[in-house]
Amino acid sequence: MKAFKINNNITKYIIGSSVDQVTTNAINIEGDPIDEFKLLYFTIDKNKIIIKLNKSDAVYGLGATVRGINKRGWIYESFCTDDPIHTENKTSLNWAHNFILINGEKQFGIFIDHASKIKYDIAYTQNNTITITLDSNSFIIYVIEDTNTKNIVCSFRKLIGTSYIPPKWAFGYQQSRWGYKSLSEIQQVVEKFEKHQLPIDVINLDIDHMDNCKIFTTDPENFDNVDNIISELKQKNIKLLPIIDAAVKIDENYNIFNEGTENNYFCVDSDKNPYVAACWPGKVNLPDFVNPKVQEWFGRKLKFYTNKGIDGFWLDMNEPSIFYTPKELNKVIDLIIKLKDEDIDTDKFFAVKDSLYNLLSNPKYYSEFYNYDGKEYIRHNLVHNIYGMLMIQSVYKGLEKIDSNKRFLIFARSSCIGAHRYGGLWTGDNRSWWSHLLLNIKMMPSLNMCGFLYTGADIGGFSDNATEDLVIRWTQFGIFTPLFRNHSAKGTRHQEPYEFENIQIFKEAITMRYALLKFIYSEYMKSALSNQMYFSPLSFDYSHDKYAKTVEDQLIIGNSIMIAPIYTQNSIGRYVYLPENMLFLSFTSWNKYKFEVKKLGHNYIDVDIDSIPIFVLPNKMLVLNQPALSTKKIDDTILFIICFIKDIAVYELYDDDGETKKSININNIDLRIEISKIDEQIDWNIEKSNSCKINKINITVFSDKGFIKQIKEEI
Ligand code: MIG
pLDDT tens, 387-411?
999 999 999 999 999 999 999 999 9
- The DSSP string of 527-576 is HHHTT--SEEEHHHH-TT-TTGGG--S-EEETTTEEE----STT--EEEE
Cα-to-centroid distance, 205 and ligand 1 (Å): 11
CA 479 to chain centre: 14
707 HSE (CA, 13 A, CB side): 9
pLDDT at 20 over 80: no
Q: Decide whether any atom of ligand 1 lies within 6 Å of the 411 Cβ.
A: no
Report CA(315)–ligand 1 centroid distance (Å): 10
Nearest to 426 by CA among 115, 166, 58, 59: 166
Q: What is the DSSP string of 229-257?
A: HHHHHHHTT-EEEEEEES-EE--TT-HHH
User: What confidence score (pLDDT) does residue 19 get?
Assistant: 77
Ligand 1, pocket-test mutation among 174, 178, 324, most atoms within 8 A of CB: 178
Give the mean pLDDT of 187-199. 98
Query: CA angle 431-435-440, nearest 5°?
Result: 75
Residue 8: count of CB within 10 angstroms of its CB: 9
Q: For the segment 40-72, what is each residue's pLDDT rounded down to a tens digit?
A: 899 999 999 999 999 999 999 999 999 999 999
Write the secondary structure of 577-598 as one string of H (helix), E (strand) and C (coil).
EECCCEEEEEEEECCEEEEEEE
Given ligand 1 and candidates 215, 284, 429, which is best to mutate, with the most ligand atoms within 8 Å of its CB? Answer: 429
Contact assessment for residue 128 and residue 52, using Cβ atoms and an 8 Å cutoff: yes
Looking from the CA of residue 462, the nearest atom of ligand 1 is: 4
| Secondary structure string (H, E, C) spanning 404-458 | CCECCEEEECCEECCHHHCCEEECCCCECCHHHHHHHHHHHHHHHHCCCCCEECE
- Write the DSSP assignment of 58-117 as a string of letters: EEEE-SS-SS-SS-TTEEEEE-----S---TT-S--SEE--EEEEESSSEEEEEEE-SS-
Per-residue pLDDT at 262 exceeds 90 = yes
Could you give the CA distance from residue 197 to residue 709 in angstroms, rounded to a whole number? 34
N-term to C-term CA, the chain? 62
Q: How confident is the model at residue 17 (pLDDT cuts 50, 70, 90)?
A: confident
Q: Is 428 in the pocket of ligand 1 (CB under 6 A)?
A: yes
Strand (E) or helix (H) holding 693: none
Indicate whether residue 208 lines ligand 1 (CB < 6 A).
Answer: no
84 vs 255: CA distance, rounded Å: 31
Quick check: CB of 265 below 6 Å from ligand 1? no
Per-residue pLDDT, averaged over 199-212, amounts to: 98
426 lines ligand 1 (CB under 6 A): no
Q: Answer yes or no: is the C-beta of 314 below 6 A from any ligand 1 atom.
A: no
Which letter, b or e, does each residue of 588-600 get, where b requires 16 or more Cβ atoms within 10 Å of its Cβ?
A: ebbeebebebbee
What whole-number percentage of the chain has pLDDT above 90?
Answer: 97
Tell me the per-residue pLDDT of 525-566, one tens digit each, with 9 for 90 and over: 999 999 999 999 999 999 999 999 999 999 999 999 999 999
| Residue 372 near residue 288 (C-beta atoms within 8 A) | yes
**Do residues 335 and 375 lie in contact, with contact meaning Cβ atoms separated by under 8 Å?**
no
pLDDT digits (tens, 9 = 90+) for 422-439: 999 999 999 999 999 999
- Spatial strand order of the sheet with 129-134 comes to 42-45, 48-52, 129-134, 118-122, 74-78
Segment 280-290 shows an average pLDDT of: 98
Strands across the sheet containing 248-249: 248-249, 282-285, 277-279
Are 495 and 466 within 8 A, CB to CB?
A: yes
Q: Using the predicted structure, report yes or no on whether residue 18 has a pLDDT greater than 90.
A: no
Q: Using CA positions, which residue lies closest to atom 11 of ligand 1?
A: 429
Report which of 108, 91, 142, 64 is spatially closest to residue 450, judged by C-alpha positions: 64
For 521, which DSSP code? H
Q: Whose CA is nearest to atom 13 of ligand 1?
A: 178
CA 280 to chain centre: 24
With a 6 A CB cut-off, is 429 part of the ligand 1 pocket? yes
485 beta partners: 174, 458
Q: Which atom of ligand 1 is nearest to the CA of 428?
A: 3
The pLDDT confidence band at residue 635, using thresholds 50, 70 and 90, is very high
Burial class of 153 by CB neighbour count within 10 A (0 to 12, 13 to 18, 19+): buried
684 pLDDT more than 80: yes
C-alpha 624 to ligand 1 mean position (Å):
35
C-beta of residue 246 within 8 angstroms of C-beta of residue 266: no
DSSP H or E segment with residue 131:
strand 129-134
Q: Over the stretch 365-390, which tens digit does the pLDDT of each residue have? A: 999 999 999 999 999 999 999 999 99
Tell me the pLDDT of the chain averaged across its residues: 97
Q: pLDDT tens across 580-621, in order?
A: 999 999 999 999 999 999 999 999 999 999 999 999 999 999
